[in-house]
Chain A
Amino acid sequence: MSALLHRAWRVSGLLLLAWMAWRLLDWGVLRAVFSADAAACQALAHQGACWGVVPEKIRWLLLGAPGELGGLPLTLLLFASSWLLSFPLGVALALARRSERRWLSWPVVAVIEGVRGVPLVTLLFMAAFLLPLIWPQGEAPALLWRAGAVLTVFSAVYLAEIIRGGLQTVPGEQSEAAATLGLGWWGTQRRIVLPQALRAVLPALTGHAIGLLKDTSLVMVIGLHELTGGLSLSLGGDSTWRPFYFEAYLFVGAVYALLCLALSRLGLSLERRWAQAER
């Protein structure tokens, strides 16, 4: 009896899956409009996807408003620069947090826990509203720079915690052995401790990079038009294409997913290469 029930349950589940797959295919491909034909799209009444919005708005979606830095290039610039700059900062914070000198470790703990305890949106608000107010001399740098600085600090504190986890996996004897060989503190860290620590936490570093890439979308909230913001900018004021926000968002989502997939592949190949180097 229970075997029969189990089979009925499984068959109905499969039928449900098949039905969902069919509806998706029907909406996304069979009934969809692929050309930038507004009239054909409106005639669909959402019974099929209007992919025409993508070729119609491709320039805005990917490059942002004409004449200003935006879209995908801005996303990549914010991601790459804040990641690169936050890496040395994160290493420094991690080392400082582990320091035995309390005047050094305590303020660092306060900064790390403080930044980790608040949402990124509020930090971006700080960049948009607070920094111009308290800037000591002359005019504060442009919003783009301020947002980049906030992303860098935000990324650095999370990196610091990941790297600290890696540092804890390196046995203390390693540092002692290096000291015996005559390496100074910095030489020990750079040649002995850090390479092992970073290798131990490589998967977490990949995850962090993916998170940072996704987090760059938040600068839209303070009025920078990167990939996500460029999309709202292009469709927000266009009543013809506005109903097809959903399809445009799916496209942009796919762009993010591809970028994240590339990062995760990169991380995996690094892991493999480092694992080989160890042998």
Chain B
Amino acid sequence: MFGWDFLGQPAGFDIGETGLMAFDAMQPLWSAFLVGLANTLRVSFPALLLATAFGLLLALGRRSSSPGVKQLASFTIGSVRHVPLLLQLLIWYFLLIEWLPDSTQAIKLAPGVWLSKGGLAFPWLEWQAGGNASWSWPEQDTFNVVGGAAVTPEFLALMMALSVYTGAFLAEVFRSGIESVPASLMEAAETLGATRWQQLTRVLIPQALRTVVPATTNQYLNLIKNSSLAVAVGYPDLVSVGGTALNQSGRVVECLGLIMGTYLLMSLLTSAFMNAFNARHALKGAT
């Protein structure tokens, strides 16, 4: 009963969004899993960058000297951390598909960037025959936005929910990292004639990193694992595709094993990275 040969059979289902990969129902099941994994990484990577930016912004906001900004940052962090990510994902999703205009009247966010119920269209490199690349710019057509590349509302909702949620947690990580460096060290650097920039890059950041990096890596890993909530809005990530494969093939043990094994591998790689970082940056002499 147990075996892996079913992975070579045609998948028998289509995947709504495949990014840069091509996929159709006739391709083997294992390539469906690959597309799912690629989709997981495709949404996780921009979400990681956005979450970091958002976390930094909130952490700076909480340390702002203006009470209004400080209150706003604290309130945002508190409320985002106290509402389930799944609920936030659904909020983003319905905000996008209910409140945005149809793709016949897309909003022009910037030259070549269009936002509508159909998703977000943006310029993208297109490979011509002969190996030349040229930019393809999306334009508003009668019925649709054509050209360039586009991501679906499902992708956008997942990316936004993951980055805002993780950003609120990262903000606290960054703040405690900054606060772990004694203020006297910065004052000492100033006395020695270091500029503000030098104080930041030579004193504060190197020392804050020691506490920040392990906790940040943990949050990044959480983000990747949380991207599995994609199944709730129908974005075809690894869990979503794996679930479909599981239902279609009836191979429960193998499909679940494949999904969980992949995440486990990502977790192990992350903790290996974390240990390597700690070994390099730990205080000399401390254990």
Contact = CB atoms under 8 A, between A and B. Distances in A.
Partners in one complex: yes
Given A121-B239, A130-B253, A261-B82, A249 B91 contact: yes
Secondary structure class of chain B's binding surface, majority of residues: helix
A218 B229 contact: yes
Contacts of B268: 117
Contact of B66 (A10, A126, A257): A10
A179 interface: no
B184 interface: no
B283 to A, nearest CB: 19
A217 B83 CA distance: 10
Contacts of A114: 264
Contacts of A253: 79, 83, 87-88, 91
Interface in B135-172: none
Interface stretch (B17-25, B94-102, B115-123, B206-214): B94-102
A129 interface: yes
B98 A217 contact: no
A228 B86 contact: yes
Contact of A125 (B84, B226, B239): B239
B186 interface: no
Interface string A108-133: 00000110111111100110011001
Nearest to B265: A117
Nearest to B227: A119
Contacts of B260: 118, 122
Interface in A166-223: 210, 214-215, 217-218, 220-221
B69 A217 contact: no
A119 B225 contact: yes
Contact of B256 (A129, A215, A249, A257): A129
Contact of B243 (A119, A125, A257): A125
B50 interface: no
B228 interface: yes
Contact of A228 (B84, B98, B243): B84
